Structures are given as C-alpha cells and as structure tokens.
Amino acid sequence: MGANVLDMRDIISENGSILLPTFAGLSQFSAVDYPGHLCAVLYTQGCPCRCRYCHNPSLQQGQGPSVMSWPSVMEWLVTRKGLLDAVAFCGGEPTVHKSLLLAMRQVRALGFNVALHTSGLYPHNFANMLPFLDWVGFDVKSPFARYPDVTRVPGSGGKVRESLERMLSSKVSYEIRTTVHNTILNSADLVTMASELQMLGVSRWVLQRFNKAGCADLELVASHTPIDGDVVDRLRVYVPNILVR
C-alpha cells in the first residue's frame, strides 16, 4: 500500500462503520498552534509515550469516548469558513490513528489548511499524511539513542528519526522543538541532539521551557531550572537559528 492511500480495512469496524479518531476536545480558536495562522485545534486520544513532562497525561490511554462526533465537527467547521485559516490536530499522538488521514482530507476539502503536532512515533502513518499537511510541529525529545529513557517506548528513537527524515525530504513547512528539563536532558544530551539535527540538515530549532501546567510529575515540577544561555550558545555552533520559547 503506497503513500497517500488509506486502506479502508484499517478504519472499518465489525459493524461496517468508519472508525475515525476519538477526539478529546476542541479549541475553537488558537493563534499559537500553527504559527502565523488562526486555527481550530482538535485533540485526539491515545499516545504510546509516557514522557514525564507530559502536560496532557489524561489523553495517553485513549480509552474514553469521543466528546464530539466527526459530523458535528465538520458542521461546525463549515460555519468557520472565512474566519479561520486552518485546523490543527494535536494529542495525545494524532498519528496513532490511521483514519486521521481521512479527517485531514475532509478538512482540506472545506478549504482549510491542515497542521499537525506529532512526536513521529508512527513513520508509515505520518508519511501517508505528509502530502495533506501544510505545517508540522515535530517534537524531538532527546538524542535518538536515549529515546526509550524519555518515552519509555523501546525502539522509539529509530522510528522518530525515520519520520524526521521523511518530513525533511518533503516540501511541508515545519518547526522542530524540544522540551528542556534539566532532570531529563543535560547539556551533553543537548549537544548530541544539536549534532544529530545538523547532520540531518536542520538549521532552526525551538527549545521550549518546561511548562508545569498539567504535569503530574511533582519531582519535575519542583526541580526545574532555566535553560542555560551558555549551553544555547554552544548549540548554535551546530544549529545556527535557535529560539528559546
């Protein structure tokens, strides 16, 4: 099955209904989830990662019912034409849902741009979605060799690298960002990451300050220190354009 093709067997339930992603929430307006655009944000349920700094831990299990039907979302989006530029899919990890591709195509058919926030854990699904994306916010969590320490998912580093390479070889606009907490990533880790990103051809990198909002790990909340400016200067040797957010 080639890229851009959705195997309908993957999204049909036993009773014949289409298994669209389960949505945990809708933010009707955002100016930050797709830089330079006004968008609605849809949050999908389910994520294999168990990152300690996660600010949406309630979405990890992905077992709750969808808080809204997809037809109702589409009906609402019709009323937003001309008012919003785009729809951003966030999570959880949106690409865990193969059927998200179908949702993206329907959103594009309404005339909206499509943005995606992803950790890149599902390279095949992600590759199928890339042609229907206008922008990707891609999380790079650690040096590739240390990924299982952060995500608690064996083999996750190789999958993320594959997704990152696919994205970089496409024409989609993107932002690569890393959440920095000194308990999880030390300066040597960040330098290793900078070197790996440089080798992949990345020239812009966003370092995100740890945000304690929603984080259930009390140790991380209590132990966070600011990002070291001297370390950022060292990273710029590898990736010249670094933004600390």
Beta strand segments in the chain, E: 23-30, 39-44, 86-90, 113-118, 135-139, 173-180, 204-209, 241-244
Mean pLDDT for the chain overall? 89
Residue listed under structure tokens 């064996």 = 154
Residue listed under structure tokens 């300066």 = 187
Task: Grade residue 64 by pLDDT with cuts at 50, 70 and 90.
Answer: low
The percentage of the chain sitting over the pLDDT mark of 70, rounded to a whole number, equals 90
User: What does the alpha-carbon distance between residue 199 and residue 90 come to, in Å, rounded to a whole number?
Assistant: 28
The answer, yes or no, to whether residue 65 has pLDDT greater than 90, is: no
Write the Ramachandran bin of 216: left for phi over 0, alpha for psi from -120 to 50, otherwise beta.
Answer: alpha
pLDDT for the residue 63: 59
- What are the tens digits of pLDDT across the range 20-50? 777 888 999 999 999 999 999 999 988 989 9
pLDDT for the residue 15: 42
Q: Is the pTM of this model over 0.85?
A: yes
- What are the tens digits of pLDDT across the range 154-197? 999 999 999 999 999 998 999 999 999 999 999 999 999 999 99
pLDDT for the residue 7: 43
CA distances (Å), origin 121, targets 125, 161, 164, 218: 9, 9, 10, 26
User: What does the alpha-carbon distance between residue 20 and residue 37 come to, in Å, rounded to a whole number?
Assistant: 26
The structural domains of the chain, with segments of one domain joined by +, span 11-244
The answer, yes or no, to whether residue 140 has pLDDT greater than 60, is: yes
Q: Give yes or no for a contact between 244 and 207, defined as CB atoms under 8 angstroms apart.
A: yes
Architecture (CATH level 2) of domain 11-244: Alpha-Beta Barrel (3.20)
